[in-house]
C-alpha cells in the first residue's frame, strides 16, 4: 500500500467537485460500484470551508453561526449519512429494473451519457425540490433543512433522514429515457456537492453567474422566511429552471432576509426537528371536516386551508421581517466542550460504520445507527434543557462501555481504550450531575 498524505485528502481534484469542475472522461463509469463516493471524499474540504467561512465572516464583521445551530446541522447530516447506507440498494434496484424497459439506448461511455446525466439530475432535482415545498407530506420531511436560523455552509448538512427515499420516485423515470445509472449516481453526488458552498451569507451577488447558476444570492432567497422568498428558487446547479417555470425571485438589497421557518420551532433537538411537523400535519388532516379536505391537508401546500388555493393564500401568510429574535440557548463552557468532543466521537463512529459496513452484521449496523441517533438527539437536547438529558446520557455511556468491553470498536487497542475512558469519565460526570442537581435547577428544566 502506498504512502497516504494530507495532500491526498486536500487534492485539487476533490476541491473541484465543489464547483462541478470535473472532466467527463474521468467521471464516466460502466458500473455503479466504480462511482466514487464524491460526498465522503469531499469531507476534508468541507471542514476547510467551514473554517474559511468563519474567519472570512469575522473579517467582514459577521458572526456566521452559533455552536448550538451548527451542532444541530451537523447532527442532521450524520443521521442522513447513516440512513443512506441502508437505502442505497433500494434506490438502485428499482432503477435497474426500469432500465430494462428504456425507450432509448445511450452508451455508457459516450459524452451524451455524461451530459444526459447532468441535465437529468438537475432537472429532476428542481421538480423534487419544488414538490417538497408544495406537497405537505413531503414538506413534513424537507422542512428540517429550513429549520436553521443561522445561514452558513453547515446548513447544507441539515437534511431529513428519509429525504432520499422520497426522491427515488422522481429520479427513477430517467431510467426509461435510457440514462445509465452510473451517470445518474455521479451527477446526483456532484449536484449536491455544488450546493454546499451556496449556503453562505458571506458571498454577495456574482454578476453574470447569477444569470445561469444557482448562486449564494439566489439560494439565500430560497431559505428566507420573508414573504417574497417563499416558494422561490428551487434549482440545484442551474437557476434556469426557476426562470423557465416561474419560481424565480432575485435577492432584494433593501430587505434583510430572515432565515428559518415562518413558524420557527424553538428547539435544537435533532430528533424533534426531524419529526415534529409530521405530528402537526397529521393533526391538521385529522381536524378537517371531510375526507377530501383531509387528503388536501396532506397533498396540498403547507399553507393551504379550506377554501384557499392549492398553495394557500399568500396574502394571509405572515410577513416576516428582520430583525427576528433567534432561539439562542446557552450552556456553560464545560458543557459546550463536552458536546463538541462527543460530536467528534460520533463523527468518527459514523465513519467507522461507513468504512466497515460490509463486515458488520445487520444487527450490529442497526445498533450503531440507533446509538448514533440517540446520542445526537440527546446532545442537542441539552441546549433545550430537556429534563431527562442527564439520565439518558448516563445510560448512553453505560451502554457503550458494556458493548465496547466485549467487542472491539475500531480494531486499534489504544484508540479503543481511549474511547472507553472518555465514555467512563462521561458516565461518572453525568451520574454526579444527576444526583447533585438542585430542586431549583430541576424546576427550570423542560419536561418535553
Q: Residue 75 falls within a domain, yes or no?
A: yes
Give residue-wise pLDDT tens across range 176-216. Answer: 999 999 999 999 889 999 999 999 999 999 999 999 999 99
97 and 231, same domain (yes or no): yes
Give the mean model confidence (pLDDT) for residues 27-56: 87
67 and 198, same domain (yes or no): yes
204 and 345, same domain (yes or no): no
27 and 130, same domain (yes or no): yes
Q: Residue 79 falls within a domain, yes or no?
A: yes
Q: Which residue has the higher pLDDT, 358 or 304?
A: 304
| Among 197, 216, 245, residue at a domain's last position | 245
Q: Residue 124 falls within a domain, yes or no?
A: yes
Q: Determine which of 90-94, 96-100, 238-242, 415-419 has the lowest per-residue pLDDT on average.
A: 90-94
CA dihedral (46, 49, 53, 59) in degrees, to 10, reads: 160
Q: Residue 256 falls within a domain, yes or no?
A: no
236 and 365, same domain (yes or no): no
pLDDT of 4 higher than 50: no
The count of structural domains within the chain is: 2
Q: Residue 259 falls within a domain, yes or no?
A: no
pLDDT of residue 2: 43
pLDDT of residue 438: 54
pLDDT of 3 higher than 50: no
pLDDT of residue 353: 84
| Among 245, 272, 304, residue at a domain's last position | 245
Q: Which distant-in-sequence residues (6+ apart) come within 8 Å of 118 by Cβ?
A: 187
Region class of 332: left (phi > 0), else alpha (psi between -120 and 50), else beta: beta
Burial 349-372 (b: 16+ CB within 10 A, else e): bbeebeeebeeeeeeebeebbebb
- A 10 A CB-CB count for 69 gives 26
Give the mean model confidence (pLDDT) for residues 129-152: 94
Tell me if the bond preceding 323 is cis, omega within 30° of 0. yes
pLDDT of 439 higher than 60: no
When pLDDT is cut at 50, 70 and 90, the band that residue 9 belongs to is: low
Bridge partners (DSSP) of residue 238 are: 213
Q: What is the mean pLDDT of the chain?
A: 88
Give residue-wise pLDDT tens across range 250-270. Answer: 999 999 999 999 999 999 999
pLDDT of residue 444: 53
User: Where in the sequence is the domain holding 387, given as residue range(s)?
Assistant: 335-443
Give the Cα-Cα-Cα angle 391, 380, 426 (nearest 5 degrees): 45
Q: Residue 428 falls within a domain, yes or no?
A: yes
pLDDT above 70: percentage of residues in the chain: 95
Cα separations in angstroms, 188 against 17, 159, 327, 430: 12, 15, 34, 43
24 and 158, same domain (yes or no): yes
Question: Among positive and negative, which fits the CA dihedral 62, 66, 67, 73?
Answer: negative
pLDDT of 231 higher than 90: yes
Q: Collapsing DSSP states into helix, strand and coil, what is residue 224?
A: strand
215 and 117, same domain (yes or no): yes
pLDDT of residue 1: 38
Q: Determine which of 96-110, 113-127, 158-172, 394-408 has the lowest per-residue pLDDT on average.
A: 158-172
Q: Which residue has the higher pLDDT, 2 or 339?
A: 339
Give the Cα-Cα-Cα angle 193, 194, 196 (nearest 5 degrees): 70
Q: Residue 41 falls within a domain, yes or no?
A: yes
84 and 221, same domain (yes or no): yes
How close are the terminal C-alpha atoms of the chain, in Å? 52
Q: Residue 188 falls within a domain, yes or no?
A: yes
| Among 199, 229, 245, residue at a domain's last position | 245
241 and 342, same domain (yes or no): no
Amino acid at each position: 500500500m502506498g504512502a497516504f498524505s494530507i495532500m491526498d485528502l486536500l487534492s485539487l481534484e476533490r476541491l473541484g467537485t465543489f464547483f462541478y469542475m470535473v472532466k467527463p472522461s474521468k467521471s464516466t463509469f460502466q458500473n455503479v460500484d466504480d462511482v466514487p463516493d464524491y460526498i465522503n471524499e469531499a469531507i476534508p474540504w468541507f471542514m476547510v470551508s467551514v473554517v474559511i467561512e468563519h474567519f472570512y465572516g469575522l473579517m467582514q464583521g459577521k458572526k456566521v453561526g452559533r455552536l448550538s445551530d451548527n451542532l444541530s446541522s451537523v447532527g442532521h447530516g450524520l443521521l442522513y449519512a447513516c440512513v443512506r447506507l441502508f437505502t442505497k440498494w433500494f434506490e438502485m434496484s428499482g432503477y435497474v429494473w426500469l432500465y430494462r424497459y428504456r425507450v432509448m439506448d445511450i452508451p455508457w461511455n459516450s459524452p451524451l451519457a455524461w451530459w444526459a446525466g447532468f441535465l437529468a439530475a438537475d432537472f429532476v432535482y428542481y421538480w423534487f425540490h419544488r414538490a417538497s415545498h408544495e406537497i405537505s407530506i413531503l414538506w413534513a420531511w424537507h422542512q428540517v433543512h429550513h429549520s436553521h436560523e443561522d445561514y452558513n455552509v453547515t446548513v447544507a448538512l441539515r437534511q431529513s433522514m428519509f429525504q432520499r427515499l422520497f426522491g427515488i420516485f422522481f429520479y427513477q423515470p430517467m431510467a426509461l429515457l435510457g440514462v445509465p445509472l452510473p451517470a445518474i449516481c455521479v451527477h446526483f453526488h456532484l449536484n449536491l456537492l455544488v450546493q454546499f458552498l451556496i449556503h453562505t451569507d458571506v458571498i454577495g451577488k456574482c454578476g453574470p453567474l447569477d444569470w445561469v447558476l444557482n448562486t449564494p444570492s439566489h439560494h439565500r432567497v430560497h431559505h428566507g422566511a420573508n414573504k417574497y422568498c417563499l416558494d422561490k428558487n428551487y434549482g440545484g446547479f442551474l437557476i434556469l429552471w426557476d426562470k423557465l417555470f416561474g419560481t424565480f425571485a432575485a435577492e432584494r438589497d433593501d430587505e434583510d432576509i430572515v432565515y428559518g421557518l415562518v413558524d420557527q420551532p424553538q428547539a435544537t433537538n435533532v430528533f424533534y426537528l426531524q419529526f415534529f411537523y409530521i405530528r402537526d400535519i397529521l393533526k391538521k388532516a385529522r381536524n378537517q371536516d371531510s375526507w377530501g379536505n383531509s387528503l388536501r391537508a396532506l397533498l396540498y401546500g403547507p399553507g393551504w386551508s379550506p377554501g384557499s388555493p392549492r398553495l394557500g393564500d399568500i396574502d394571509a401568510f405572515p410577513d416576516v421581517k428582520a430583525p427576528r429574535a433567534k432561539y439562542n440557548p446557552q450552556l456553560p463552557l464545560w458543557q459546550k466542550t463536552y458536546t463538541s468532543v462527543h460530536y467528534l466521537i460520533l463523527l468518527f463512529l459514523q465513519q467507522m460504520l461507513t468504512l466497515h459496513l460490509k463486515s458488520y452484521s445487520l444487527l450490529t449496523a442497526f445498533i450503531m445507527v440507533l446509538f448514533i441517533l440517540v446520542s445526537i438527539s440527546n446532545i442537542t437536547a441539552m441546549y433545550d434543557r430537556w429534563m431527562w438529558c442527564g439520565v439518558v446520557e448516563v445510560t448512553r455511556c453505560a451502554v457503550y462501555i458494556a458493548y465496547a468491553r466485549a467487542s472491539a470498536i475500531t480494531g486499534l487497542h489504544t484508540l479503543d481504550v481511549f474511547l472507553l475512558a472518555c465514555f467512563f469519565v462521561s458516565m461518572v460526570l453525568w451520574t454526579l450531575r444527576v444526583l447533585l442537581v438542585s430542586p431549583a435547577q430541576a424546576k427550570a428544566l423542560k419536561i418535553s
